[in-house]
Structure 1
Amino acid sequence: MFMYSDKINMLQRQEGVGISLYAGLVLMLLTMFVLDISVGSVHIPFGQIVKIFAGQEPQRAAWGNILWLFRLPKALTAILAGAGLAVSGLVMQTLFRNPLAGPSVLGINAGASLGVALMVLSAAAGGVGSRFLDGLGVLGELGMVLAASLGSALVLLLIMAFAERVRSIMTLLILGLLFGYATSALVSILIHFSIAERIQAYISWTFGSFGTTTWKQLYIFAPVITGGLLAASFLQKPLNALLLGEVYAKSLGLHLKHTRLSLIAITALLSGSTTAFCGPVAFLGITIPHLCRIFFHTSDHRTLLPTVILTGAIVALIADIISQMPGSQLVLPLNAVTSLIGVPVIIWVILSKNDLMETFAA
C-alpha cells in the first residue's frame, strides 16, 4: 500500500509542462519541418521555396515538382511516423511496466516485417522497384497496412500471453528477442524462394525511409496514424492507473483485459502501419518516451502523451535531415541514423542513477 501511495505522490509532485514549453516544441517542429523540405541533393533557395508555397512560379519548374511530389510528402511522413512510433513505445513501456520495452526490442517490428514479407515476397511475379508500394494500388496498400498490423499484433499477443505466466522483465525481453529471431528466420526462408526483384525491393524497404511515401499513400497513412493517436489520447487515465500497478488499477474499477486489448490494438496499428510504409524504423519508439520523461520531469500521461507526439515528430525530422547528408549527393539509411541517435540515449537511461527506473518498479 505504501508503494502505491509513494507513486501517487511522485506523480502529484511532478509539474506539468507549461504552455510556453508546448509552444517551444511546436516552434521547433515547424523549424525542423522547414529545414527538412529545404535540404536535399538538389539545392532550392529558401526564397524560391516561399514562392512555391505562395503559389507563384519558381525560377525552375523542376523545383516545384521536387518540393510538392517528394520533399513535402517525405516531411509529413516523418512527422506521422515519429509521432506514431513514439506513442507506441510509450504505451508498451507502461503496459509492460518496462523501461526497455519498444516495438523493435520486443519483436513487434519483426512481426510487422514478417507480414509485409509474406505479402511482398510471396506475391505473384512482377517487376517492382524500391518504391514497390506504388504498384499495389489502393487495395494493395490497405492490405500492406493490414498485413503489417496483423504481424505486429500477433507477436505482441504472444508476448502478452507469456506475460500472464512470466513476471520477470528480463524473461519477457528474451522472449521478445526470440520471437524476433523466429520471424527473421521465416523471412529468410521467403527470401530464399523469391525472385531477385522482390528481394531487392524488400531489402531496400528494411533500411527504412520516409521518402518512399507518395501523396496517394499518405491518404491512407495519415488517417490510420491520426486515428491511432486519437485512440491513445482517450486512454491517458488508464495508462496512469497501470503505471501505479495492476492492484491499484483494479481498485479504480479499470477492466484490465479490455484495457490491455485496446492498448495492444493501438500499438499494433501505429507500429504496424508505420513499418508498412516506412520500413522497420528502429529506436524511435523506445527512445522518445525516455527523452520526454528526462527533460520534462513527468510520468503523467496527460502530459507525456502530447509531448511524446511532438518530440517524436521532431526527432524523426532531425533523423531524416541527417540521412539526407546536406551538401552532398549521398543518402544514408534511415535506420543507421535513428540507431546512432537512440543507442546513446538507452545507454544513458540504463546507467543513470535517477528516479526514471523507479517509475517502472514492480
Structure 2
Amino acid sequence: MKYPISMILSGHFNMRITGIMIFLLLSLIILFFLELVLGSVAIPYPEIVRILTGQGSSHDSWIMIIYNFRLPKAMVGLCAGACLAIAGLFMQTLFRNPLAGPDVLGLSAGAGLGVAIVVLSAGTAGASSILGNLGFFGSVGIAIAASFGSGLVLLMILAVSKRVQNSMTLLILGLMFGYTANSFISILMHFALAERIQAYTIWSFGSFGGATWDQIQVLVLFAVLGLIYSISLIKHLNVLLLGDQYAESMGLDLIRTRNKIFIITAVLSGVVTAFCGPIGFIGISVPHLCRALFATANHCILIPACILLGACLALTADIIASVPGYSITLPLNAITSLIGAPVVIWIIFSKSRNGMEVSV
C-alpha cells in the first residue's frame, strides 16, 4: 500500500475536513443518546435527561436500566470502536497492507487466548457473567492477559515479516497464528467446567453490554491512555508510509518506532477483546472509510477521524444488534461483519480494477 508524498504531507485542516469532523462528532453524540433511548423498555427523552443530570426519575426501574445497562453499553461501544479503529490503522501503516487488521492477523484470537487462560482455568464457577465477579484489579489482570496474548501474536507476525516479503503470505500466516490460538482455546474449553464453557461461548459472540462498572473503568483508562499516546506517534506514522529507507534517512529509529506501535496496538486490541469479545471488521474497515472520506493518508487527520468514525460504527452496529423495541439481541459480531465485509470487498475490487495487487 503505497502513497504519494504529496498525499501524505498534504491534509491541512480546511473547511471541508473541519465540516466532516464536526458532522462525525455530532453523529457520535446522537448515536450515543440513541443507545440510551432505544430498547425494549420505552423511557421518555425528558426522563433520560433528568436521570443523566442527577435529578432522579418517577420510576426507579428507569434509573436502574439507564445506569446499569444502557449507559455502560454506550460507553463500552464508544471506547471499543475508537480503539479497534486506531489499532487497525496502525497495523495497516506498520505492514503497509490494506487488509491488515486485529481480527485478520490473529490479534483478537491471541487476546481471546489470554482471556481463556485466566477465565477457563482460574475463573469463578457459576458466575452470571464470564468476567462479572473479578472486581477492579481482576479486570486489570484480564486486560493485561488479553494484551499479552494479542502482543504475542503480533510479535510473531513482526518476526516473520522480516523474512516474508509477500503481504498475502503474511496475512495467511497471521490467520494461521489465529487458528493456533483458537486451538489452544478449544483444548482449555475441553477441560473447563460447563458453566465456564457456556459463558465463554456467549462472550465469543461479542457484546458491549456485558461489562461491569469496574471493567468499564479499566477499559476507559486503557483506551484514553492508548489514544492519547497514539497522537504522539503521528509524525512517525506519516514517515513510515514513505518507506523504511526514507524513514531512516529522516533519522527515524525504525526498531523503536515499531516497538511503540506494537505495544499500543496490542494494548488497544487486547483490552477491547477482553471485555467485549472478538469484534470483527471495525479495525479493517474504518481506516479505509476515513481515507476515502477525507482523501488523505495524513495521520494528523486519520487518527481523530478513525476515533470518531470507529465509535460511530460500533454504536450503530450495537443499536442494530439490540433490535430496538424487542427483547432479543443479535450477535454483535454478525452485525459488524455485515457492515465491514462490503468494505473489504470494495477494497479488493478497487485494487483489482486499478490493476493492482492487494499488497504492500
TM-score (norm 2): 0.95
Match of residue 92 from structure 1? 91
Report the counterpart of residue 46 of structure 2 in structure 1.
Answer: 47
Please say which of residues 338-347 and 40-49 is displaced more in the overlay. 40-49
Following TM superposition, by how much is the alpha carbon of 1:43 offset from its aligned partner in structure 2, in angstroms?
1.2
SS at match of 2:319: helix
Partner of 1:7: 4
Cα offsets for 1:223-282 (capped at 9, x unmatched): 101111111110001101111111111111000000011000000000000000111111
Instruction: Name the % identity.
Output: 51
Counterpart amino acid of residue 163 in structure 1: S
User: Matches of residues 216-227 of structure 1 in structure 2 within 5 Å?
Assistant: 216-227=214-225
Which residue of the partner structure matches residue 36 of structure 1?
35
Q: Does residue 271 of the first structure (1) align with residue 273 of the second (2)?
A: no
- Taking structure 1 as reference, are residues 92 and 359 closer, same or farther at Cα in structure 2, changes over 3 Å only? farther
Distance 1:361 1:127, change over 3 A: closer
Assess, with a 3 A threshold, how the Cα gap between structure 1 residues 359 and 259 changes in structure 2: closer, same or farther.
farther
Q: Paired residue for 2:78?
A: 79
1:319 equivalent in structure 2: 317
Cα distance in 1 between the residues matched to 2:30 and 2:41: 20
Of 219, 239, 259, the residue aligned with 2:257 is: 259
1:140 CA drift (Å): 1.5
| Equivalent pair of 1:299/1:359 in contact (CA under 8 Å) | no
The equivalent of 1:169 in structure 2 is 167
SS of the residue corresponding to residue 4 of structure 2 reads helix
**CA separation in 2, counterparts of 1:340 and 1:192?**
31
Superposed CA offset, 1:161-198 (max 9, x none): 00011110011001001001111111111111111010
Q: Confirm or deny: 8 A CA contact 2:111 2:274 kept in the other structure.
A: yes
- Look up the match of 1:207: 205
* Alpha-carbon distance in structure 1 between the residues aligned to 2:294 and 2:357: 14
Q: 1:116-195 counterparts in 2 under 5 A?
A: 116-123=115-122, 126-129=125-128, 131-195=129-193
Give secondary structure in 2 for the equivalent of 1:134: coil
How big is the alpha-carbon RMSD for the aligned residues of Structure 1 and Structure 2? 2.1
Q: Structure 2 vs 1, CA of residues 357 and 345 (structure 1 numbering), >3 Å: closer, same or farther?
A: farther
**Taking structure 1 as reference, are residues 353 and 113 closer, same or farther at Cα in structure 2, changes over 3 Å only?**
closer
Deviation digits for residues 79-118 of structure 1 (CA, Å, limit 9, x no counterpart): 0000000000000000000000000000000000001011
C-alpha spacing 1:166/1:18, structure 2 compared with 1 (3 Å): same
How far has the Cα of 1:11 moved from its partner?
A: 2.6
- Residue 101 of structure 2 corresponds to 102
- The answer to whether the 8 Å contact 1:94/1:239 transfers is yes
Alpha-carbon distance, 1:137 to partner: 2.1
Residue 344 to residue 47, structure 1, CA distance change in 2 (3 Å): same
Compute the displacement of 1:340 (Å). Answer: 0.5
Provide the rounded CA distance (Å) in 2 between the counterparts of 1:10 and 1:359.
Answer: 20
Unaligned runs of 5+ in 1: none
DSSP 3-state at the match of 2:238: helix
Once the two structures are overlaid, the 10-residue window that deviates more, 46-55 or 19-28, is: 46-55
- Please identify, of 209-218 and 195-204, the stretch whose mean Cα deviation from structure 2 is larger: 209-218
Give the letter for the 1:7 counterpart. Answer: P
Return 144-153 or 115-124, whichever deviates more. 115-124
Q: Deviations over 1:281-324 (max 9, x none)?
A: 11111010011011111110011000000000111110110011
Q: Distance in 2 between matches of 1:74 and 1:31?
A: 15
| One-letter identity of the residue aligned with 1:128 | A
Question: Cα distance 1:60–1:31, how it changes in 2: closer, same or farther (>3 A)?
Answer: same
- Partner of residue 290, structure 1: 288
Shift of residue 47, structure 1, vs aligned partner? 2.2
Q: 1:24 corresponds to which residue?
A: 23
* Pairwise CA distance, 1:19: 2.3
